[in-house]
Structure 1
Amino acid sequence: MEVYEFDKCLLDRLEESMSVLSWKDEVIPASQVRSEWSYYIELQIEPAGWQGLWKIPRVICEELCIRYPTVVFGYVEQVIFKDLKAIFIIQAVQDEDVHLPEKHEVFLEDLWPTKEQENSELNIERTADCVDRLRFFYTHVWMPWDNDNDDDLNWVEKHLETRIRFCYDLRKRTMKKTLAAHIRKLLTESKYLQQRREYLELGLTDEDEGDPEETMSKTEVTDLMRLHLRLAMIRNEIELLENPEMRRIFQEIKFPEEKYFIDNEQNDISSERKLGRIYFVMMPCTLDQQIYFMQIAKKSIPKDALVQHVPTLQEILSTCSKYDCIYLSPGRHTVKFLENMADCGRICGLTTDKEKVTSSSAYFTNENVSITSSDEESVLFVFERSFTIENVVLDCRNVQTGILVKSGTLRLRNCILIGNGKTSTQQGIICHKGTSVILDKCIVERFATGVTVLNEALLQLQNSNILSCKIGIDLNAHSKCHFDNSKIINSFNNAIYVSTVFKPQTIKTKYTILNNLKEWERYFDTIAPFHGECEFKGCKANVFVQNICNMLISRETLNVLRANGSPISKDHTANLEDAIKSY
């Protein structure tokens, strides 16, 4: 099932938005922008009857207690032009465990028209292009705080071109990588907070007959106030960063050049280059304790290596692009969302008793080294190069994703990833195409999905456990997973979820449940995506195998999955991975 996708340059996007919002000698305030778009789509889009995919937003997935991402197929019963929404009727749901109401009121930008339509008389290509224009505008140009703008100002003149150029500056990577990651994080967070705020306010308006203090609990009022305050903070920062000159100054202040190991007469630079850079982050403790931790680290540090003490882990990751190893003393180390991780770098916790790290109790005691996010970030760590983390508890309870591995090899040794166990959308580790993740004596616990392994990625579990997740491991058809003395325990839905092509005699079967890994050969002609031995305990289904032939997926994607190593362009592969991951 293929959908329309468009690749347009900056000038195309600017011209499209100007054609909708720019009128000669007319002032278009923020309050009129939505009306102008509604007039435009009423002329361009098919009013009813077209089919498409609904990519359910994260906030709705959380409220419906379903996994994220979730995509469903259906048709538009009616377009509500005034609100830029549609009445969407669900016809097919991929996951057997997902049970949704048939009719939904959804935003048009969340819909993706499919190329194949039951009604061939529809001008579906024009409809898809119109939805694409609307989606780009409300995803990348319109900000959650724009509705609060003064109507005396011309919104189009002040913001339109600036915002589109800002969007393409991020895409072209014309700014420092750490700053670009910071901006993307702020924009993603603002969209999510706005959706959350609208959902809470909708609950209040539904009960507008009563007293607001009675209809909303104290928790909801507190959450709403927190959302407003956080959005105000993000607004101030984004409006500053939209200006290229202010952005340059902000970058110099917020993300300065490296200030440690500066070339000077006191440093032996040749030794530094040969042996690498060693950093220490020591939490407040007694002098004897500090000496003790230094003695632990001394055993693995080269004799002539250069060592630098830094107050916080955040400071190292924000300002240093090169480091051999960062040693952390026991305690709680707080960081903000970062992508600036050094190639072949290492973070090592100076844990006094390694056995305490791999136990299932007392994760956050003062004897353990823990890393947590300072705010409700989207991701704790993003890796684009090879990296190693040892003896650390990664506290992912207030992030949407624990670790995102985009490229390279990530090694976790004696580590714990702990989620909140509440939301249906939280993911522990996501392995992108061609990456490798090695878990050695690790625990992944209390996520909606413990580990997601995308196309051609490799996951190795050595003496590791995945505990109390809804789905332990989500395997793509062309990914691999190696088990060595590992366990998946108490998975609420599936210990392992994998999709593949069934044998011809069972081609109409939707899914098959295996009790163990060895049963694969009995049901499937394809090579098993996993090797080794894995022990299952207390799981609803040990290995849940989905039949690709009965999935909501395009024929083109199906052919790619069936082929072995067929060449695909980078951009095309990314689109296919998103589709596969969504379904």
Structure 2
Amino acid sequence: MPVLASLVIGLNSTALPSADCKASEVKEFTAEYLEKVLEPSGWQAIWRTNVFEVLVEVVDVEYSALKAVVRLSEPFLCDSNVSTFTLECMQELLELKKHQLPVQELWVVFDESGEFDQTALAIEHVRFFYQHIWRSWDEEDEDDFDYFVRCVEPRLRLHYDILEDRVPSGLIADYRNLLSQCEVLYRKFLNLRSGISSSDSDSEAENVSMVEGLKLYDEIEHLKQKLKLIENPLLRYVFGYQKHAGLQAKGSRPMGTKITHVVSSTMMASLLQSLLREKLCSETCDEELEIQFHSDPLTAVSACYEGDTVIICPGRYVVDGMFCIADSIELEGYGLPDDVVIEKRGKGDHFFDCTGANIRISSLKLVQHDAVEGILSVHHGKTTLENCVLQCETTGVTVRTSAELLMKNSDLYGAKGAGVEIYPGSTCTLLGNGIHHCKEGILIKDFLDEHYDIPKITMVNNVIHNNDGYGVVLVKSTISSDVKDIAVKNSEGNIQTIQSNGGTDNVEDLGHEELHECATGQLELHERAEMSEQTAGNYEIANELVATSVKKSQMHKKRLSELGITEADDNLMSQEMFVSIVGNQFKRNGKGSFGTFLF
């Protein structure tokens, strides 16, 4: 930020009292800024291109063109991989350029006197601006006094977010690819437009060129909109990028073979013997295994096909990238989780993105540092986590719509958001886990919307403790009055819902018969008096989830009634939540075992 701020201050201090300008005025203000701080002559610089570097001396500056008038320094110094750049060649090249070079192609040579320090800094400002902020099409966009707010500020924020590893690597690649495409199309558009404008004829070829120009213009505008979505920090993750969308399963190998990948930073003879005895050549192994060895777990997973197994030997592995698992594979630590540690470097990416039909991860410890994305996200298919330790930084495990998670005998902690996020239409089974020291233990997303299916949730024998907020929190919208009217009309009695603060409020007008029908065969409701303080949350959670499920059923019936449908398919009408919440313990959660968040 300070670099561009200096440039903007320099530009605006010359003419504009405000902190903004038109895009068409940027070059003029930059020239005025350079005229104030740049030494007009007497300094040396390196003229640097992709092919060569040559020492030149600046004899004058054409401020309005943002160019310096130069001559070759004596003695002639040139560094190039191509031997053809002789003194004569460079003189001829400079003559073709009329000895004028863009200032952003010059790097000021250090001078002990410090006389040219401001000159070097000013050129760095200009170079930064034209490399990272300015776009060749900016002048043709809306020419209003909001260029800084509309273009400079979001691009600058994105640049520093990238430097600080706060943007997923895939999104960075997408952004740079979009920029490159847009630049190519824009140059093509300019060439086409100049060809049309220089011709006075009304020929068929010119009409075709105009049609092509319109198509190019539409393509450029479409790419520019995509760039703006990524540049806007509020829209970046909502519309700009879905990493899992590009994950493609490899499927089985052509010959149907399955490979066991062994990961170890160093392979000792004793370790290899243990692996052969316990994992690779066990008595139950009927066929000979093909084995590949890797030193990096990320490389091993990337090499996997459907049905492969990855065995990770004890050690601490630091990875700089994301595990994208689109095939059904098994990832297994050889030893205790604390002995097999995978540590994530970089802030911008998820740790694990899972889309495979049946993925199994066991006996691993996953560690995040300074992350901005969750530790594991299940987008499609089923992922099983067993006997794992998850040291989170932001969100913990996310179960997306239509995905399934089975998490068993694992320990999850440290999330600044929820330890587990459950989306509508997902299936989440949590058995014997510890979820603690997160902002919220488990967060269940709102599923009352007609487009959402009810999630299927099973929670048995988990210990949810020492979270800042609730042990379990249900996010839902404020119930509309028409739904309440339906509940009152259809209810013969009221059910008292136990609140997270320990009191009881008559908050939902739900019939006993409806609630009992919804929960029959799925949940056994115990009397609160018989519960211990630590397990009382089981009743609260199940009661609220079942009640919300009934509301959704009522809303669905009302919509069908409004459409004149009196009989509906049983599958549509019985979207009850499969709830099994038994034996969980809730200890020392800041706001209690269960709560709801209304929006």
Q: Which has the larger radius of gyration?
A: 2
Q: Which has the higher contact order (CA 8 A, sep 6+)?
A: 1
